[in-house]
Amino acid sequence: MFGVVPKVIWQKTNPADENNMCSWAMRCLLIEDRNQLILIDNGMGDKQDDKFFSHFYLHGNYTLEDSLKRAGFSFNDITDVFLTHLHFDHCGGGVKWKDAQKQIGETVFPNARYWSNEAHWNWAINPNAREKASFLKENMLPIQQSGQLNFIDPALGSPFTQFDILYVDGHTDKMMIPHIHYKGHTIVFAADLLPSVGHIPLPYVMSYDTRPLLTLDEKERFLHKATEEQYIIFMEHDAVNECCMLKQTEKGPRLDRSFPLSELVK
């Protein structure tokens, strides 16, 4: 998760357990706006086999279904599923097995449009050797087969009035980063451009990134803009911090404060 940064340094912010594993979240975001209910990413789901999940030591009692219920909604209410990218931990919760033999997949959100972009979709369904284990066809093809797949054309801008989209290519090809307009704020769903507050220092780049030097450039531009424009950064993978804001220091952008999203919606 921290690339070339030595463990003796990164474990100060993200301490590892006896298995050399760190705790991470798969935090999604729900946007309710009049007759639209937009879900950004949907976690890894539960349809993979025990061997698959044994690599990740899943823990905690949160589920996407229960979280939606607490907000007063169900899977059927979702109108749009926006997928930042198609790695399994971001899109696996959008498809389930239809049959007991686990051969036929179907979408979890029957009334929703699922959004990706054509360049990333093609990248994902014809994966390179490095990302092949992250792009699982059972997470993707049922979306297309159901007729619910929609492509966003970067040249035409965002199809959503609620947010603009930043495209980045360092982590994976054409990952989409929503910049959400809310009560005079810009809330950025950071996805894997900035997984946690521990990744704010520039050299902290994941080994998962296909083009780490490009990530460095994209991340540097983003961090400076986030600092200057006082973005609220919503972190998908930080197990402790939901949101943060940055400040400029002599070492570059650094954490100013972190806080729960509920602070904004009161």
Residue 207 lies in a domain: yes
Residue 2 lies in a domain: no
Residue 20 lies in a domain: yes
Q: How far apart are CA 58 and CA 170, in angstroms?
A: 27
Amino acid in the structure at residue 259: F
DSSP symbol at 190: -
Q: What angle do CA 213, 128, 153 make, to 5 degrees?
A: 75
Amino acid in the structure at residue 57: Y
pLDDT of the residue at 266: 65
pLDDT of the residue at 101: 81
Q: What is the mean pLDDT of residues 98-124?
A: 95
Q: How far apart are CA 217 and CA 233, in angstroms?
A: 18
pLDDT of the residue at 150: 98
Residue 200 lies in a domain: yes
Residue 31 lies in a domain: yes
pLDDT-derived band at 250, boundaries 50, 70, 90: very high
Note down the domain range covering 28. 7-265
- Above 80 in pLDDT, residue 265? no
pLDDT of the residue at 61: 85
pLDDT digits (tens, 9 = 90+) for 114-127: 999 999 999 999 99
Residue 1 lies in a domain: no
- Above 70 in pLDDT, residue 186? yes
pLDDT of the residue at 122: 98
Number of domains in the chain: 1
pTM of the model: 0.95
pLDDT of the residue at 100: 84
Residue 114 lies in a domain: yes
Residue 192 lies in a domain: yes
pLDDT of the residue at 13: 85
pLDDT digits (tens, 9 = 90+) for 134-164: 999 999 999 999 999 999 999 999 999 999 9
Question: What is the phi/psi pair of residue 233, to 5°?
Answer: -95, 115
Distances (CA, A) of 18 to 15, 22, 56, 94, 147: 10, 10, 14, 32, 45
pLDDT of the residue at 213: 96
pLDDT of the residue at 6: 94
- Above 70 in pLDDT, residue 217? yes
Distances (CA, A) of 121 to 114, 170, 192, 231: 12, 16, 17, 28
User: What CATH code is carried by the domain that includes residue 121?
Assistant: 3.60.15.10
- Above 70 in pLDDT, residue 253? yes
pLDDT of the residue at 59: 86
